[in-house]
Amino acid sequence: MLDGLFSQSVGPALRWEIVVVDNGSPDDTARVVREAARRAPVELRWVLEAEPGLSAARNRGWREARGEIIAFIDDDCLPDPAWLRSLIDGYDAPDVAGVGGRLLPGIEPADREAIEPAWLAIYTFDCGELARDVRILSGANMSFRRAVLQRLAGFDEQLGRIGRCLLGGDETDVCRAILREPGAQRIRYHPDAVARHKLSAAALSDALLTKRHYCGGVANAILDRKERPGRRIGSLLGRAARIAVWVARAARRRVLRRATGRLREIARWQEFVGYAKERAGGIGLACRDCPMRPARERRLEVLAAQRHPAEGRPR
């Protein structure tokens, strides 16, 4: 990731920096960053965020950064040389609140046949060859104006991955909050801002795929609760339609006795199950059997005490 950032092709007029947020990593991240800083083309800083969680790390990162535009990239992604310049170019109007780009799977040749196609959908965000307005961005390849993040108080730390807990959605929450605000702010997609997510077949198990989809369903239910009633109903109807399509395709596959696509079918069903359980009984029911549930529940209680001292846990 750092080598890709060091290779960015930006003009001399652009002042930028790199902030690496260490969220309790077990390796020697601080030393690696110190050594890399000697060959960095811009200032490279290391900061430690002791509070575990992706959203906490993202919040620490944008608060430590000095720029007016904050770009985010995951540590296992490699940006193309034009990545940063393309993101910045997307802010061509004052009403643009955020800009993101393509996320493509970076697969080693030896792994191309071994990776289940359903994984590629998770690690791909591609809205085509033309720049346009979008409603969401990929968390591994996104940027926002600092003023927007300040106004929204950053990423919701009740969402976002924490260790083995795969409950995500913090970046989607920010995008939805931007579009809910008055003033018709826009979120833009720029096709030339490309990042490639490194994929290894050894790390992508079938069990992990189904868990990712289940946790994605739980996160979607939490996000839908924040929407206005009209959009909430629309989201429920859209999910009902997708379930109907899924059932029809699954039935057709069984009639034709096709073996392909079975894993994706199971994973998508787990997404629906996770969504339904959270809607029925909240995160306590949805995450009841997950080994990460105690840590997640303690985390929610701490956040509730910080944000709602007189109310207890958020509804």
33 token code pair: 């960053």
Instruction: Judge whether residue 142 has pLDDT over 90.
Output: yes
Instruction: Judge whether residue 259 has pLDDT over 60.
Output: no
Closest-CA residue to 104 (of 83, 131, 88): 83
57 CB contacts (<8 Å, ≥6 apart)?
21, 23, 49
The two counts, helices (H) then strands (E), for the chain are 11, 8
pLDDT of residue 225: 87
**Cβ atoms within 10 Å of 159's Cβ, excluding its own:** 21
Instruction: Judge whether residue 315 has pLDDT over 60.
Output: no
Q: What percent of the chain lies above the pLDDT cut of 70? A: 90
Separation between Cα atoms, residue 155 and residue 209, nearest integer Å: 25
What are the φ and ψ backbone dihedral angles of 89, each rounded to 5 degrees? Answer: -60, -25
pLDDT digits (tens, 9 = 90+) for 51-61: 889 999 999 99
83 token code pair: 């990545």
pLDDT of residue 241: 79
Instruction: Judge whether residue 310 has pLDDT over 80.
Output: no
**Structure-derived torsion over alpha carbons of residues 307, 97, 217, 258, reported in degrees to the nearest 10:** -170
Residue with the larger pLDDT of the pair 150 and 288:
150
Report which residue type is found at 181. E
pLDDT digits (tens, 9 = 90+) for 73-116: 999 999 999 999 999 999 999 999 999 999 999 998 888 888 88
Q: How far is CA 15 from CA 18, 68, 84, 85, in A?
A: 11, 10, 11, 11
DSSP 125: B
pLDDT digits (tens, 9 = 90+) for 168-217: 999 999 999 999 988 879 999 999 999 999 999 888 988 899 999 999 99
pLDDT of residue 103: 97
pLDDT of residue 311: 45
Least confident of 78-82, 148-152, 272-276: 272-276
303 — pLDDT class (breaks 50, 70, 90): low
